[in-house]
Amino acid sequence: MNPLVRPAQLLVPMFVALQGGIRAAEPPPAAAPADDLFRRGAFAEAERAYADAATVNPADADAHRRLGEIALLSNRLDEAAQRLSRALALRPGDERATALLAETRYRQDRFADAAPLFRKIGRTAMADKLDSFRGDQPYRVLADAAVAEVAFALTDPLPVVRVSVNGKEPANFIIDTGGAEVILDPEFADAVGARRFGPESGTFGGDKKADYLHARVESLKLGGLAVENVPVHLLGTRRFAAAAAGQRIDGILGTVLFYHFLTTLDYPNGRLILRTKAPTGDESAPGTHAIPFWVAGDHLMIAEGRPNDAEPCLMLVDTGLAGGGFTCPQSTLRAAAVDLASSQSFDGVGGGGTVKVTPFVLDRLSLGAARRQNIVSFFGAFPESLENGQGFRICGLVSHGFFRPFAVTFDFRAMHIYLNDQGRQ
């Protein structure tokens, strides 16, 4: 076992999928070539093929739905809404198109439009929560300046920042892009007066299932920046103290909060940077890798990577794997020629409970043009259901150990992840 890897440090990734959420649909046989491109993650080529099909037959509901899904993956939300609405007009009651349109309206912060769509697909607690925002602007940002910087209280084994909720004393929150909405520990949520709604079931690292609760808070404050009217999830987080050097963890900041900003996790200089205005251009400075990405579901950031000499494939960008930089399904181990015969397994802590993992060192890992060697990795943390659960193959998960030398910027407008290996001074 690599000496840096200790069982007490391992926090396997947070929410990776939601039961009752957007599920992959079986492709219709008539559109097999386009669907094959989609399954392989060749989204640009698939989009052209579906557009051709919709031109030949404007009443092709499947083509419009897929075009809407690809627009949603690309975060082109107005286009996604238009295409998915067209698909539903052609085929009323299409559950997948309804779920995709619900997700589109949710990402647009159009909660009043999203709520009835979530209710139609049986996600009642989510709908109740979103209905509670009528008359309130979700994620209303109040900032002293266009750029807010929050120092990491810890950087390893995962970044921790201090966050004030509903005006209470600041508490420790882990940063984890594997999380969707902000997550609060239930006991902490009661102490700060979070308003609860109902439960839902989630899928976590190692394919473990667990319930969480929908809730909302009136405000979050990070440094000189405040965010009002924030939807949250409730899940026990105090068991993750090992991922924060033994400190009590009362919450987790996830991707849904971050996509409301130009967000940088500046690992070398130990800080979270949230920009409320358009980028200034420094993300494309020398030493920066620009990596295209897509967003599946409400928060799954997907980019192309390559483990060892395997074929390039789509990977989940999830920063919450404490103690490691990579995990993957069995199929990727075979493709990357990884042998676990001499490795000893141990138990890690995940959102859904204990997960048995086997450590190994990946010789080479690429994400876009960024490449690193000798990445501490874990087999067993990757949820097997995620591999094909979105309708296209996800071959692995890239995490903290890979990103640690970089300042990592997530630009949800340009849909690029920027890795600056010179840090930010």
Q: What is the pLDDT of residues 346-399, one digit of tens each?
A: 776 666 667 888 999 999 999 999 999 999 999 998 988 899 999 999 999 999
pLDDT in the model for residue 205: 62
Q: Place 241 in a pLDDT band, splitting at 50, 70 and 90.
A: confident
Q: Place 172 in a pLDDT band, splitting at 50, 70 and 90.
A: very high
Of 61-70, 115-124, 243-252, 364-373, least confident by mean pLDDT is 243-252
For the stretch 98-132, pLDDT in tens is 999 999 999 999 999 999 999 999 999 999 999 99
Closest CA to 267 of 402, 423, 418: 423
Q: Contacts from 46-51 at CB under 8 Å and sequence distance 24+?
A: 46/70
pLDDT in the model for residue 210: 75
Residue 215: count of CB within 10 angstroms of its CB: 25
pLDDT in the model for residue 244: 78
Residue-range domains of the chain with CATH:
7-15+283-420 (2.40.70.10), 41-122 (1.25.40.10), 140-275 (2.40.70.10)
Distance of alpha carbon 109 from alpha carbon 225, whole angstroms: 19
Label residues 81-106 b or e (16+ Cβ within 10 Å = b).
bbbbebbbebeeebebbbbbbbbbbb
pTM over 0.85: yes
Of 188-192, 221-225, 278-282, 401-405, least confident by mean pLDDT is 278-282
Residue 209 or residue 15, greater confidence? 209
Whether 2 has a pLDDT exceeding 90, the answer reads no
C-beta of residue 295 within 8 angstroms of C-beta of residue 289: no
> Peptide bond preceding 33: is omega within 30 degrees of 0, i.e. cis?
no
Whether 22 has a pLDDT exceeding 50, the answer reads no
